[in-house]
Amino acid sequence: MVHRFDALILGAGAAGLMCAMEAGKRGRRVAVLERSDRPGKKILISGGGRCNFTNLHCRPENFLSANPHFAKSALARYTPTDFLALVEKHQIPYHEKTLGQLFCDRSASDILNMLEKECRAVGVAIFLNTKIQVVTRTTEFVVRSANAEFHAPALVVATGGLSIPKIGATSFGYDLARQFGLKIRDPWPGLVPLVLEPEDRSHYCDLAGVSVEVVASCDGQKFREKMLVTHRGLSGPAILQVSSYWKKPQPVHIDLAPDQEVTAVFRDPKAPRTSSSLRAQLRRLLPSSLADRWLDLHMLNSWTNPALAAFERQVHEWTVTPAGTEGFDKAEVTAGGVDTDELAAKTMESRKVPGLFFIGEVVDVTGHLGGFNFQWAWASGAAAGQAL
Ligand SMILES: Cc1cc2nc3c(=O)[nH]c(=O)nc-3n(C[C@H](O)[C@H](O)[C@H](O)COP(=O)(O)OP(=O)(O)OC[C@H]3O[C@@H](n4cnc5c(N)ncnc54)[C@H](O)[C@@H]3O)c2cc1C
């Protein structure tokens, strides 16, 4: 069976649905082809089921890309306020959790229902269980699935990245880009827990569950948020943020007591210089199990001022060289992707192949933790949708 449309969108995730509704609003006849049995599965599991759907403080600096300027145009033309207006139009209750992060009060399904409703209102056709077998281009794009053929002059690739293969992530978008001669920046897992080397693991991982506010830094980027010890390494927002910048064998630096001085009390000549008083000071700043473990591993061998200063430095500059990350199975996002040099920043259209667009996570633009990845999906989806 042959279906003809003005535009075909591959992938009914955040970016694909936004693009479809924007194009539909402009009167385009749009089909979204989705291999899974339902749209927006990642939206449903996002933000712990509450979907951190945008961030009020979204700036270009919240994104990684080989070209840090590329995302600016799309982000400026579709802002968090634009998405919020849509959320409010649908009377979806939401709240700001922290640092400008907006979450649904009820459930992430509110966001998915809203996008589906908007798509229905403008006549977007969504084809589920549609596994694409071949894409070709003659005078127009032809997409073949097992039992249908779709024709359109424009094709938008919104098939996401490699993170969480168990809910359907594939390399499809990258393969298609390569098929059409577009360059790819090798993808790597972002916003992902770090795994420690065996020795560090044996020192710290029995403390799994312990959490503390730190400043974690890597590759010139710093994040002050919580760190969590896990059974295999380190996680929590601060670590997830630096993980996107981490490449083996770089070290990660962790300030365990930001803006605090553990040894200040010892400036008083009357203060007893003993391990129990040092333990008491460290326990003021760190969870006691972590403070005790730190002292077991870093106990001073003298009580001189230089030894105290060295101890202080270590607390603020814990240098960890991770063995690796938990990989795409646990990564919240895929960094790298379709090289932005290949795309027009205003429309997301390929410079080499007119009518071919790439949006969302498949593009080499990756947000920090905190609603930025959805904001990129909305903004890049809207940019392409308005150009179709
Ligand atoms: C656990 C988790 C929690 C997250 N929480 C947040 C959060 O709270 N806030 C935030 O901003 N970001 C969050 N993210 C990141 C965010 O979900 C993604 O960045 C965003 O969904 C990317 O949108 P996308 O449309 O590009 O891709 P996706 O949402 O991944 O959609 C791609 C779609 O394409 C389909 N597809 C794949 N291959 C094919 C094919 N060959 N043919 C047809 N269809 C195909 C997939 O089934 C999928 O429906 C989270 C991610 C994870 C994994």
CA of 201 to the centre of ligand 1 (A): 31
CA of 169 to the centre of ligand 1 (A): 8
For residue 327, the model assigns a pLDDT of: 98
The two tokens of residue 264 are: 């200040």
**Which residues lie closer than 8 Å to 249 by C-beta, 6 or more apart?**
321
pTM exceeding 0.75: yes
Output the CA angle 258-194-282, nearest 5 degrees. Answer: 30
For the CA of 170, the closest atom of ligand 1 is 38
For the CA of 373, the closest atom of ligand 1 is 11
The string of pLDDT tens digits covering residues 77-110 is: 999 999 999 999 999 999 999 989 999 999 999 9
- Portion of the chain with pLDDT greater than 90, in percent: 97
CA of 293 to the centre of ligand 1 (A): 39
Computed over every residue of the chain, the mean pLDDT equals 97
For residue 60, the model assigns a pLDDT of: 97
For the CA of 50, the closest atom of ligand 1 is 8
For residue 168, the model assigns a pLDDT of: 83
Nearest CA, atom 51, ligand 1: 332
For residue 200, the model assigns a pLDDT of: 97
- Mean pLDDT, rounded, for 284-311: 96
The string of pLDDT tens digits covering residues 148-186 is: 999 999 999 999 999 999 888 999 999 999 999 999 999
The string of pLDDT tens digits covering residues 328-377 is: 999 999 999 999 999 999 999 999 999 999 999 999 999 999 999 999 99
For the CA of 13, the closest atom of ligand 1 is 31
For the CA of 359, the closest atom of ligand 1 is 26
For residue 287, the model assigns a pLDDT of: 98
Three-state DSSP class for residue 295: helix
d(CA 279, CA 299): 10
- Mean pLDDT, rounded, for 296-309: 94
- Mean pLDDT, rounded, for 52-76: 98
For residue 179, the model assigns a pLDDT of: 98
What residues line ligand 1, using a CB cutoff of 6 Å? 10-16, 33-36, 41-42, 45-47, 51-52, 132, 158-160, 163-164, 168, 170, 172, 332-333, 360-361, 371-374, 377
Q: Could you tell me if residue 13 is left (phi over 0), alpha (psi between -120 and 50 degrees) or otherwise beta?
A: beta
For residue 378, the model assigns a pLDDT of: 98
Sign of the Cα torsion 171, 360, 242, 211 reads negative
CA of 133 to the centre of ligand 1 (A): 21
